[in-house]
Structure 1
Amino acid sequence: MKRLALLLLVLSQLSFASAYDAHPKLVVVIVIDQFRGDYLQRYHNEFGEGGFRLFTDHGAYFSDCYYDYATLVTGPGHATIGTGSYTIGHGIMANEWFDPQINERVTSVSDEATHIVGVEGGQGSSPHNLLTDTFGDELRMATQGRSRVFGISMKDRAAILPTGHSANAAYWLDGKSGAWITSDYYMKALPPWVEAVNHSDEAKKFLNRDWKDAAGKVMGNTNPRNDEDGQPEDYFEIVGSTPFANDLELDFARSLITNEKLGTRATTDLLVISLSENDILGHAVGPDSPILHASIVELDRQLAGFFQFLDKQFGMNNVWLALSADHGVAPVPREVQTLHMPASEMDTKQFTEKLNEEIAKTTGKPGKYLRSAGLPMISLDPASWSDTKEADAEQIVGEAAVRTGALAYFTKSDLAKGRVPETPMGHKFANTYSPYGGWWVMVQPRPFTIPKEDGTTHFSPYSYDAHVPLAFYGVPFAPGVYRGHSEPIDLAVTLSSLLGTNKPAAATGRVLTEALKPPPNPPAGEKHLVK
């Protein structure tokens, strides 16, 4: 009877488990940069039991997860995962944009009011451009700061944006040295344990090494080398495109969990880890390369080792895991052209020149009307439009872009007023509005068209850039493959609901109830009343 009573008590407590009583002890969100949604099924048979299969075979796996906005790059993707909203809610429309207040380009997280901490000199970074909060912020507010929230990535924007305004710290890599750094937005000096990591040989141990595939074939190395100008390449460039970069990040995550004593307090803690290697390598070789294939299989092994660490530290019944990506990637045009796909490379310089010529036909005079004309964003130079209103100038540029080869255009002025076609593509661009960036126009390129460069890239509203994984593992999730439609904005809202907090202020995602186990029934004779 005593054992039965104890069991019923535990079940009763589990039915009301939440962040407020440290159920779970720790939430870990894994974001893999440039990890397309089809990879999990493409390489499933090569994965071991403890890595990706923890999600696909033993967790709640959503195979039909697509972003529903138009600029699929790192900054907006990470902001979307954290806030549960698209750019129209969080404001982050690109990795960088023109700031008319200071008359120069800025990154999504650069902040003149902050300084780098961990290496000498340099402007710092912060989430000050983020227009709303994240589910990590809601967790911190709900527990009056008792829950702790951290972000880790090789890239500053990927560490900062998904964690939000109130994170205890975001750490990223100094590209030149491989040291872990942050900004004085979070702290005035690195904690002693981070200093110890930087002063050890943690980063250096990944230099001068070959990396091999599962069969032992050498796929690359981290030997120091010079760039095209004869200068030594940075640590980021040498190690970043190899699986050793994932080892570097996951080792740092282990140190953070241990030294910050995550998961040992009376409320739930959160750690967001964004793994950058897949993006750095993917740009160079494309999604169908044997090298990327080998890297993904190696990442599966690395994640399995990290999850074993979590199990040893906390027991997996006390940990929830979530997996997603910030964007996918386009195939290399010249590779899929052999399959008669209408893929092409666009010369950005030629596009800009032709666009200026087309604009001049409308204005009646030649001029440098644009600051930049990449895809999908065309940035206007207001100084060249002194006699033209912003909305009119943007329309002229948009119409010229269509004559130059774009399928459609969306001006900032129209998006600000919600004037878009009532179509799925119009909806994607409506979700991409931001007040930042001065005067601009977004264009819809033709499918499988990318700027001319070695390798490939991502930026478009099409499926190859928008399809990403979404999966969960932990006590509240009902294992299974869920093929109904989902979006990355659902991650933040689902975790907020389970943790018992408010969802982020601008969130538009839904709680993925189809993948949640029903709570246990209360003990016999006991009623849970809502007053």
Structure 2
Amino acid sequence: MKPSLLCLRPVRRLFLLTCLVAASSLATFPAIAAEKPAQPKLVVVLVVDGLPQEQVTRYRDQFGQGGFRRLLDQGAWFSNAHQAHGVTVTAVGHAAVLTGAYPYQHGIISNDWTDTKTLESMYCTQDNAHNYIGDETKPGAGTSPANLRASTVGDELRYATGNRAKVITVSGKDRGAILLAGKAGTAYMYMGKSGNFASSTYYMQSHPQWVQQYHASKPQDRFYGKEWRPLLADASYAGDASDDLIADEKNRFPFKYESKSGKPDAEYYGKLYTGPYLDEMTLDFARAAVEGENLGRNPAGVPDVLGVSLSSHDYVNHSFGPESRMSHDHLQRLDRLLANFFSYLDKRVGLDNTMVVLTADHGFPNVPEFSQSIKRDAQRLDGKQMSAALSKHLAEKFGQENLVRKWSPPNVILDYALIEQKNLKREEVENTAARFLLNYPGVANAFTRTQLENGNLPATRIGTLMQRAWNRQVSGDIMVVIKPFWYFSSGKQGTSHGSPYSYDTNVPLMIMGKPWIKAGAYGQYAEVMDIAPTLAHLLRVRPPSAAEGRVLTEALQ
């Protein structure tokens, strides 16, 4: 029979009591740990439109303490992260962030495309059944996610919580807000004619009171007459491209925001797209949404999602290139805006209750003139001229006009009905077209519908990315890949994106949230498509319907 504790000698009794107390403390440790938030109260997803990864690393030393540097130091930063599809444009990239899907499934193949049956233009978020609330709605305007064929993290969170979770998104572009919001969220987008942030009748019939109050103060007018000048000392921009290479004399610092009428109007509101002030307004409206919708303090005790797409960097890079002083300065200003926004979130919700994700929809190549100055083969390629030359070649080869129906970048649409009617062989016409394009100046690859339908593309990175970017129901019949540093354009200035090359695919991917994320720099390959499965895992909801990314387990606590 075992002796009782009281029968033991005092020294041994004290030793056993100490052990029991220690064991009791260990037993209760999980309960103490459980007091930390099991899930974030607020998930903030930031998408910087048109931000290549290389700009973050190139200008890192000039960032302040609270913006990008905070994400880099306190979050998980994936330096080898990519938009892993071949048509790197705004709509496709935004669709990827919270669906975790590629275009072949989510159906958003470009910003706009040509309907292969009717040859009518289709805008990515077009829905003629709905209108903007309180603002002019032109035909083909972006008003709903009707073309999005996959669910988002927000959709799954709303479903899992019986619609108690709130999902609010805001952007300077309609596609930036709508494709983050998914089917079940609520999107607000900047109106270039009025300077307001409006939703559409897809989401509601009238704006809530907080939005009406925000509009009443006309915050968009406060920048009238202001100038955008460099933020840093001149020496800080010493490594940037010469203005003479990337801009004409009338399009340089300082930029003044005004209009011919002498007062705020559509001309002035349109100018705000290119520069720091639209992003400032977007983050201001996001603050108003946090307070108006009480985000992060959900009375149902469920997480909320705030999506913010910051559009201006894309407009600046289109105009001047990522090598310009303008782009450099804009990123520094955005860094300061983010620092203020994070401080606000810390006070309002608490950053230990908040998960922040920052990424981009695509990167950017340099302006061709700059690339040429450093001995690169770089030019603009006029796609319409290329398509016309192809049409002429096919007519000469097969004795039949109009075998090419339309150029819908980066797709050529063939007339299969005519090919069949004239007893031509489809594959022969496709292969003839592809061979012609492969010899066209500036073209690197051309893939046919037959190849794409059979999954018979080269087992290369380019082949994989282009296969993912092609949708059987929506895309055209020959997919054209341009050479590195070239891009499709009929213009004479600026630059654009859309290729499968690393300068267009390699984008920031940063996740910050101390209770859930291990801070550090991660060199592993990652994709923007990994964001959605990772968030679904942490929010304990099912992954979006077409998600193919992985959970970024190496960065989880």
With structure 2 as the length reference, what TM-score do the two structures score? 0.85
1:426 to 2:463 alignment: yes
CA shift, 1:380, in A, is 3.6
Contact 1:92 1:129 in 2 (8 A): yes
The aligned counterpart of 1:415 is: 452
Q: Which aligned segments of 4 or more residues in structure 1 are displaced greater than 6 angstroms? A: 1-7
Contact 1:32 1:326 in 2 (8 A): yes
Residue in structure 1 matched with residue 86 of structure 2 by the alignment: 70
Q: How far apart, in 2, do the equivalents of 1:91 and 1:392 lie? A: 28
CA deviation vs aligned residue, 1:65-119 (integer Å, no higher than 9, x gap): 1222110000010001111111122111101111246541010110122222221
Q: Does 1:173 align with 2:190?
A: yes
Q: CA deviation at 1:154?
A: 1.0
Q: Deviations over 1:230-255 (max 9, x none)?
A: xx864453001110111110000000
* AA of the residue aligned to 1:128: A
Q: Distance in 2 between matches of 1:391 and 1:83?
A: 34
User: 1:9 is matched with which residue: 7, 31, 36?
Assistant: 31
User: Distance in 2 between the 1:429 and 1:394 partners?
Assistant: 17
Q: 1:394 offset after TM fit, Å?
A: 4.2
1:340 deviates by 0.9
Find the counterpart in structure 2 of residue 520 from structure 1: none
Residue of structure 1 aligned with 2:368, choices 324, 333, 336: 333
Alignment of 1:386-401 (within 5 A): 386-387=421-422, 393-401=429-437
Deviation per residue, 1:505-524 (Å, 9 max, x gap): 1111111111111xxxxxxx
Q: Matches of 1:366 and 1:346 in 2, distance apart?
A: 24
Distance in 1, Cα, partners of 2:321 & 2:287 = 30
8 Å Cα contact 2:412-2:479 kept in structure 1: yes
2:276 equivalent in structure 1: 243
CA contact (8 A) 1:152 1:159 kept: yes
CA distance in 1, matches of 2:180, 2:415: 31
User: AA paired with 1:194?
Assistant: V
Indicate the residue corresponding to 1:481 in structure 2: 521
Which residue pairs with 1:262 in the alignment? 295
AA of the residue aligned to 1:162: L
Tell me the equivalent position of 1:194.
211
| Cα distance change of structure 1 residues 483 and 115 upon mapping to structure 2, 3 Å threshold | same
TM-score by length of 1: 0.89
Offset of 1:349 from its aligned partner?
Answer: 4.0
In 1, the alpha carbon distance for the partners of 2:433 and 2:98 equals 34
Give the alignment partner of residue 172 of structure 2, picking from 135, 154, 159. 154
CA pair 389-50 structure 1, distance change in 2 beyond 3 A? farther
| Counterpart-to-counterpart distance in 2, 1:183 and 1:382 | 38
- Whether contact under 8 Å (1:34, 1:329) holds in the other structure is yes
* CA positional deviation for 1:407: 2.2
Corresponding residue of 1:370: 405
Give me the whole-angstrom Cα distance separating, in 1, the residues matched to 2:468 and 2:331.
31
Q: In the aligned structure 1, how far is the partner of 2:85 from the partner of 2:222?
A: 40
**Would the aligned equivalents of 1:160 and 1:170 in 2 still touch at CA under 8 Å?**
yes
Deviation at 1:365, TM superposition (A): 3.5
Shift of 1:171: 0.5
1:506 aligns with 2:531: no
Letter of the 2:520 counterpart: G
Judge conservation of contact 1:99–1:436 (CA < 8 Å) in 2: no
| Corresponding position: 1:104 with 2:120 | yes
Q: 1:344 to 1:324 in 2, by over 3 A?
A: same
Counterpart of 2:528 in structure 1: which amino acid? P
The match for 2:313 is: 278
| Alpha-carbon distance between aligned partners in 1 of 2:123 and 2:221, rounded to the nearest angstrom | 29
Per the alignment, residue 471 of structure 1 pairs with 510
Question: Structure 1 pair 516/439, CA: closer, same or farther in 2 (3 Å)?
Answer: closer
Aligned with 2:53: secondary structure? Answer: coil
CA 1:233–1:399 in structure 2 vs 1: closer, same or farther (change >3 Å)?
farther
Q: Is the 8 A contact 1:84 1:507 kept in 2?
A: yes
Q: Is the 8 A contact 1:323 1:471 kept in 2?
A: yes
1:253 match: 286
Indicate whether 1:38 and 2:72 are aligned: no
Cα RMSD of the aligned pairs, angstroms, is 2.4
1:386-430 Cα deviation digits (max 9, x unpaired): 535766654443333223242221233432332322222211111
Q: Distance in 2 between matches of 1:80 and 1:66?
A: 11
1:85-104 paired onto structure 2 within 5 Å: 85-100=101-116, 103-104=119-120
- Which stretch of the first structure deviates more once superposed, 388-397 or 438-447? 388-397
Cα distance in 1 for residues equivalent to 2:429 and 2:96: 30
1:252-289: CA deviation from partner (whole Å, max 9, x where unpaired): 00000001111112100001100000001110000100
Mapped partners of 1:120, 1:63: distance in 2: 42
The worse-fitting range, judged by mean Cα deviation, of 399-408 and 4-13 is 4-13
Gap runs ≥5 in structure 2: 1-20, 235-252
**Residue in 2 aligned with 1:351?**
386
Whether contact under 8 Å (1:360, 1:366) holds in the other structure is: yes
Maintained 8 Å contact 1:177/1:235 = no
Question: 1:524 matched to which residue of 2?
Answer: none
| 8 Å Cα contact 2:411/2:475 also seen in 1 | no
Q: C-alpha displacement at 1:40, in angstroms?
A: 1.3
Q: Secondary structure, in 3 states, of the residue corresponding to 1:271? A: strand
Counterpart for residue 498 of structure 2 = 459
Distance 1:505 1:476, change over 3 A: same
Q: Once the 2 structures are TM-superposed, how far is the Cα of residue 297 of structure 1 from its aligned partner?
A: 0.4
The count of residues paired between Structure 1 and Structure 2 equals: 504
Percentage of pairs with the same residue: 36
CA distance, structure 2, for counterparts of residue 154 and residue 381 of structure 1: 38
1:493 equivalent among 516, 525, 533: 533
Instruction: From the superposition, tell whether residues 90 and 390 of structure 1 become closer, same or farther in structure 2 (CA, over 3 Å).
Output: farther
Structure 1, unaligned runs of 5 or more: 227-231, 518-531
